Amino acid sequence: MEWLRNKVINQEIRSITLQAIPFWIASLVTGFVAVGYEKLFSLFEHLGHKVLEISPGLIFITAPGFFILSWWLVHRFAKTARGSGIPQLMASIELANPRQDKRVDKLLGLRIAFVKVISSLSLLLGNGAIGREGPTLQISASIFRFVNRLLPDYWPKVSKRIMLVTGGASGLAAAFNTPLGGIVFVVEELTKTHLTYFRTAVFASVIISGMTAQALLGPYLYLGYPKITPVGFSFVGVVLLAGALSGWAGSIMTKVLLIISDWKTKHIKNTKQQIAFVGALGLLFALIIYFTGPESGGSGKDIMNRLLFSADKTTQWYEFPARFLGPVLSYHSGGSGGIFATSLSAGAALGAGLAKLIGVAPENYNLVMLVCMVGYLTGVTRSPFTSAILVLEMTDRHSAIFYLLLAAMTANLIGYYVDRKSFYEHLKEQFLEST
pLDDT value, residue 295: 86
pLDDT digits (tens, 9 = 90+) for 112-123: 999 999 999 999
Q: For the chain, what are the domain ranges? A: 2-217, 233-434
CA–CA gap between residue 132 and residue 58 (Å, rounded): 24
pLDDT in tens, 39-90: 999 999 999 999 989 999 999 999 999 999 999 999 999 999 998 888 999 8
pLDDT digits (tens, 9 = 90+) for 227-248: 888 887 788 999 999 999 999 9
Q: How far apart, in whole angstroms, are the C-alpha atoms of residue 276 and residue 273?
A: 5
Tens digit of pLDDT for each residue in 333-378?
988 988 888 999 999 999 999 999 999 988 899 999 999 999 999 9
- Residue predicted with more confidence, 263 or 18: 263
The CATH architecture that domain 2-217 belongs to is Orthogonal Bundle (1.10)
The amino acid occupying position 161 is R
pTM over 0.95, yes/no: no
Q: Indicate if 233-434 has the same CATH topology as 2-217.
A: yes
Q: Kindly list the distances between the CA atom of residue 276 and the CA atoms of 76, 127, 271, 337, in Å, as whole numbers in the listed order.
A: 16, 19, 9, 20
Q: Of 198, 192, 218, give the one whose Cα is nearest residue 144.
A: 198
Q: CATH assignment of 233-434?
A: 1.10.3080.10
Q: Write the pLDDT tens digit of every residue in 128-187.
A: 999 888 899 999 999 999 998 888 887 878 788 888 888 888 888 887 777 777 777 777
The Cα–Cα gap between 167 and 90 comes to 11
